[in-house]
Amino acid sequence: MISSNDFRTGTTIELDGQVWRVVEFLHVKPGKGSAFVRTKLKGVQSGNVVEKTFRAGETMPQALLEKSTLQHTYMEGDDYVFMDMASYEETRLTAKQIGDGRKYLKEGMEVSVVSWNGKPLEVELPNSVVLEVTQTDPGVKGDTATGGTKPAIVETGAQVMVPLFITIGEKIKVDTRTDSYLGRES
């Protein structure tokens, strides 16, 4: 159990049979009446955001999430198949469960899978990945590092804005949280 006084950004709670993550919280102590906690909660499974108010000191069950490192081995139909490298157990996740991060997912990549009560909820990709550029406009003489950007398609099919001097076949580092170019990789 967790008290509403102990809410912090990222805390997970169980409410109405679902897992919710605290996105924002504010302790309010009005001049008249009792204190309360105003929160903004995001549903881990659904992605819905709701605003909810709790009495100060009100307790509710804390969602205990398990995080395991799994390796993406292959795709079968619309399912992504992951393997636990310690027990060689397979886990199948749908594209909806993985979310937008699937555009950076490639075979052999290790990711963290967050699960609750044995059910996988979400996939956490590494903060940055190294991918090869497969399609982009050719660079021209005079292109500089500070000159501007152009779209490039990487090996997983994701589109990233890169500097003008990047060419096809180069490996680049991409931030998976912001979809931004971080630099070249050798």
The whole-number pLDDT of residue 40 equals 92
* Mean pLDDT value of segment 138-148: 64
pTM of the model: 0.65
Tokens at 80, concatenated: 């992504």
> For residue 8, is pLDDT > 80?
yes
The whole-number pLDDT of residue 47 equals 76
Contacts of 145 (CB under 8 A, 6+ apart): 163, 165
Per residue in 49-69, pLDDT (tens digit) is: 899 998 888 888 888 888 888
> For residue 95, is pLDDT > 70?
yes
- Answer for the pair 156, 105: CB distance below 8 angstroms, yes or no: yes
The whole-number pLDDT of residue 146 equals 59
The whole-number pLDDT of residue 131 equals 83
Residue owning tokens 């881990």 = 44
Domains and CATH numbers, the chain: 2-60 (2.30.30.30), 65-124 (2.40.50.140), 128-184 (2.40.50.140)
> For residue 19, is pLDDT > 70?
yes
